[in-house]
Chains A and B, each alone.
Chain A
Amino acid sequence: MVKNGRPLWQAPWQFRESALVCCGIAAAGFALQAVIGPFDFFFLHWPGNLFILALLCIGIALGACYGKTSFSRWLSSLPLALCLIGALLFFSLIMGFTPQAGGAGPGDARLLARLGLTRVTSAWPFILLYAFTLVSLGMTIVRRFFNFSLRDYVFYLNHIGLWVVLAAAGLGAADVQRLVMHVREGETEWRVYGQGGAVLELPLAVTLKDFAMEEYPPKLAVINMQTGRPQPEGKPLFLPISASGPEALRGRLGVWEVSLESYIHEAIKKGEDYVPSPMPVSTPAALVKARNTLSGEIKRGWVCSGGSVPEFFSGLSLDGTLLLVMTRPEPRRYLSDIVVLTQDGDKIEHRLEVNKPLRVGFWNLYQYSYDSKAGKASAYSSIELVYDPWLYPVYAGVAIMLAGGVCLVWAGAGAGRARS
């Protein structure tokens, strides 16, 4: 704790001074926010951010090497680290409880918006404390290197990893671009709508050869014809159809025992029947038999959700009010077969899927959306393009921190004891 009798602001600075400095920085941030509005990330665009990074590194190195002063000691001290972590907790809690990314709202939200707290990550107090954290964390790491000990490996991994991630992600934030491109099947696109509706031309062109969607086999359910609600109400029963074969389905929906006679995953309606056909509009259909276990009555017929074609719908009437139906199939995969052409003349063929982006230089391409009304028959695919030249440094930091996390699990509280 603070030594009794030491006047405020007399070296060595401890917890009181650290807390006051952090509050002062936050107050200065709020003042800036009130006067000039939110932080403008324009200053952090390439190569400005590289310049700031170089300045930061040189500053930290000089401060650590030449500053044997109590001030530079304080910058890398534990009380300051505690205050900065506390400040980070305070601002992240505000982020957690206040809807973010909003402008000025009605009522008291207006005050929050004026203080920048509806968009904390571009509010001056947050930015200033983030920058101060980078300085303090950097000084702490460099100072520790002067007393290098391998026993501190957990400290090095976690702190260096965190510094690299914070520096690269923070300084690189302004360079990140996220754009959405809509490409029609068989066509090539290189233009996107940027913010404000301006058309941007990209350094790569995308040809969509085919968009396809795979679906899970749907479920069977009994609904009330009048209300449309699945039965029994409140706790409806669903009978999943397995893709492995008709014999896989034999189950009960209430008093009805249902068995599957045949199942067509991609069917179209032809007259009163359903036939297999791999067309964009085709949808699952099943020939089912339902037996009333009380009366022994048997019903037999086709069920189909219709997919994107309402005329394909078919249900099996069980009695005056109950109808055996098939649920709409849920999507299993979205697939865009694309060809990407770069300015260097490279041609990359790729099957774009959710969770399987394509990396081209600093660009990442993602399966983003499609014409949800047309479903499988969608004639276009929306592809998100994300540009992030700082991704590799961030990943380097993440890799170091992953190692740090494993070491924490291994070393336990010993990681802390090695340090103190």
Chain B
Amino acid sequence: MTWDTFIWFALFSAVCWLCAGGLAFQPKKAAAVNALMLAGLLGMGVFIAGFWVELGRPPLRTMGETRLWYGFFLAAAGYATYRRWKYPWLLLFPSLIACVFVGINLVRPEIHSASLMPALQSVYFIPHVTVYILSYAILGVATAAALIRLAGGGRKNSAALYAVMDNSVYIGFGFLLLGMLSGALWAKDAWGHYWSWDPKETWAFITAVAYLLYIHLRLRYKDGTFALWLLPAAFVLLLIAWIGVSYLPAAQGSTHIYS
């Protein structure tokens, strides 16, 4: 199996995942959702396995190859989380992002072979980035729920809205923690120390502490608007950690910037 046959597997898996993500919003379609998700995962899995055999090495060397794994793991982790929590958006979000990765590989084949610098060649690369992407998507949902409440929405059913906020913060924070810890283990192998207060690390820490504050605040102060405001604020910090760090004057020495 090569990149030439990829298009058939990619289209199959993408269509399966997108249909599953859409059907998840329909009650009583659980069997179809399960079948579609698993079929999509199987398709992508077969391609990765065949590609691996064809190459005679794990397909982890180029950017295009690592994107295959992102797509696969995002769909898999999103599906597992959906099975646990039954929120339809928890399936649709990761499915969409997985399809974006698959799509990049289809639409811009010239960057398949963009080479991966030595510092990025690690077993931690895929899990580290995948759990962070998942975490950001889930915390984005928490932010949306908080904004709906702040705008005066969901007044009749505020308990349900708060449940979505709390649940998604806990789950998103769990993934955030996994991303941070896998990053620390990777940093020990790549840079010599597990935590160096590199600007990217500092901002990842800031983001985590902000959500930690929300979690502890909600244990006692159930009806405070402060907690509601904390979620969009924490998401701004998250965006700085994710995208903004490259532009901060305080972060120009970061070893985390790959251009």
Contact = CB atoms under 8 A, between A and B. Distances in A.
A394 B170 CA distance: 24
B203 to A, nearest CB: 5
B209 interface: yes
Interface string A174-210: 0010100000000000000000000000000000000
Contacts of B197: 95, 100, 121
A225 interface: no
Given A89-B206, A92-B209, A355-B121, A409 B115 contact: no
B174 to A, nearest CB: 3
B117 to A, nearest CB: 7
B219 A416 contact: yes
Interface string B151-184: 0000000000001001101110111011001001
A291 to B, nearest CB: 20
Contacts of A333: 118, 121
Given A89-B209, A402-B181, A408 B219 contact: no
Interface stretch (A78-86, A264-272, A341-349): A78-86
Nearest to B195: A169
Interface string A403-420: 011111111110110011
Given A89-B210, A93-B206, A99-B250, A408 B174 contact: yes
Contacts of A357: 189, 192
A410 to B, nearest CB: 7
A401 B118 contact: no
Contacts of A332: 115, 118
Interface in A357-391: 357, 364, 366, 384, 386, 388, 391
Given A331-B118, A404-B177, A416-B170, A82 B213 contact: yes
Nearest to B123: A355
Give the contact-size bracket for chain B.
35 or more
A315 interface: no
A98 interface: yes
A152 interface: no
A88 B175 CA distance: 21
A1 B221 contact: yes
Contacts of B173: 408
Contacts of B170: 408, 411-413, 415-416
A148 B119 CA distance: 44
A242 B113 contact: yes
Contact of B122 (A98, A169, A355): A355
Contact of B220 (A178, A401, A420): A420
Interface string A226-247: 0000000000001010100000
A384 to B, nearest CB: 5
Contact of A92 (B113, B169, B205): B205
A216 interface: yes
Nearest to B222: A420
B168 to A, nearest CB: 8
Interface string B242-259: 000000111011000000
B34 interface: no
A409 B184 contact: no
A353 B118 contact: yes
A216 B62 CA distance: 10
B190 A354 contact: yes
B192 A97 contact: no
A64 to B, nearest CB: 20
A42 B114 CA distance: 47
Nearest to B212: A85
Contacts of B114: 240
A176 B219 contact: no
A178 B192 CA distance: 8
B85 interface: yes
Given A82-B216, A96-B199, A384-B192, A398 B118 contact: no
A407 B178 CA distance: 11
A330 interface: yes
Interface string B107-139: 000100111011101100000000000000000
A100 B42 CA distance: 48
A250 to B, nearest CB: 13
B115 A330 contact: yes
A419 B218 CA distance: 12
Contacts of B209: 85, 88-89, 92
A86 B177 contact: no
Contact of A412 (B85, B206, B218): B85
A142 B1 CA distance: 57
A89 B213 contact: yes
A356 interface: yes
Interface string A18-46: 00000000000000000000000000000
A119 to B, nearest CB: 10
A100 B199 CA distance: 9
A26 B26 CA distance: 54
A78 B250 contact: no
B217 interface: yes
A334 interface: yes
B215 interface: yes
B184 A398 contact: yes
B216 A81 contact: yes
Contacts of B216: 78, 81-82, 85
Given A88-B209, A96-B206, A394 B220 contact: no
Contacts of B119: 354-355
Contact of A405 (B113, B115, B177): B177
B193 interface: yes
22 contacts: A78-B219, A82-B216, A86-B213, A89-B210, A96-B240, A97-B250, A169-B194, A178-B192, A240-B114, A242-B113, A330-B115, A354-B119, A355-B122, A355-B186, A388-B193, A402-B177, A406-B174, A408-B174, A409-B171, A409-B174, A409-B178, A420-B220
Given A89-B213, A416-B215, 13 more contacts: A89-B209, A92-B205, A169-B194, A354-B119, A355-B119, A355-B186, A355-B189, A357-B192, A398-B194, A406-B174, A406-B178, A408-B171, A409-B171
CB-based closest 7 A-B pairs: A408-B174, A405-B177, A409-B174, A413-B166, A354-B118, A216-B115, A405-B178
